[in-house]
Amino acid sequence: MREEVKRDILTVVYSALFLAISIGIVLPYMVQFSTYMHERAHYTLLKSYGLDPEISLDLIGTIPNFFNPNTEKLGVTRFSLEQYKQLDKYQRTKVNTAGIVSDLVILSFVALYLALTNVYFFYKVKFTKDYDFVWILAVNWLLIMWVIALMQITIANITHEAGDVYMLVRYLTPQ
């Protein structure tokens, strides 16, 4: 077999392996990290208001749970609903929006990184004529997939009936 054909076949195989590993293993744990940060934001505020919350994460089931659309599989903060109802409406608002704000902070940092990386790409191509940036493209691929997943999760958290906004509205007035 010719050398350039072998090289092209290896490139395809390596690319396929990278895509399979990044989507099947790395991306679920990146989403698990952002889920932990989201739940940690709820946890911190609940703790500061005197509630006794706990974060429930399943690191072993992360990969299969990532591909399962059930909203409680990747992580959830558990607490006493009766104690939560005792908080005033401003405290409940802070608790419920803390996770969404955490998601937006992560999205902002990833977007900032991607913007700076694009400036770096432009510099490498325009001025140094260096076109070897496979690793930068690989990291960008992972981060863009993470951003897409985070956007979808944040939208679901805002619009889904089990999300933070619906919970806030449901318990806005004391019961």
Model's pTM, two decimal places? Answer: 0.83
Question: Would residue 144 count as lying in a domain?
Answer: yes
E strands of the chain, at which residues?
54-56, 76-78
- What tens-digit pLDDT sequence spans the chain (175 residues)? 788 888 989 989 999 999 999 999 999 999 889 989 999 999 999 999 999 999 888 788 888 877 776 655 667 788 888 898 888 889 999 999 999 999 999 999 999 998 998 888 888 888 888 777 788 888 889 999 999 989 988 888 888 887 888 888 888 765 5
Domain containing residue 87:
3-170
Spatial separation of the C-alpha atoms in residues 106 and 112, rounded to whole Å: 10
> Which helix (H) or strand (E) element contains residue 136?
helix 134-159
* Interatomic CA distance for residues 39 and 58, integer angstroms: 13
Residue 102 in any domain: the answer is yes
Measuring CA to CA, how many Å separate 151 from each of 98, 103, 122, 147? 16, 8, 27, 6
Q: Examine residue 160 and state whether it is found in any structural domain, yes or no.
A: yes
Number of domains in the chain: 1
Q: Is residue 175 part of a domain?
A: no
Is 156 a domain residue? yes
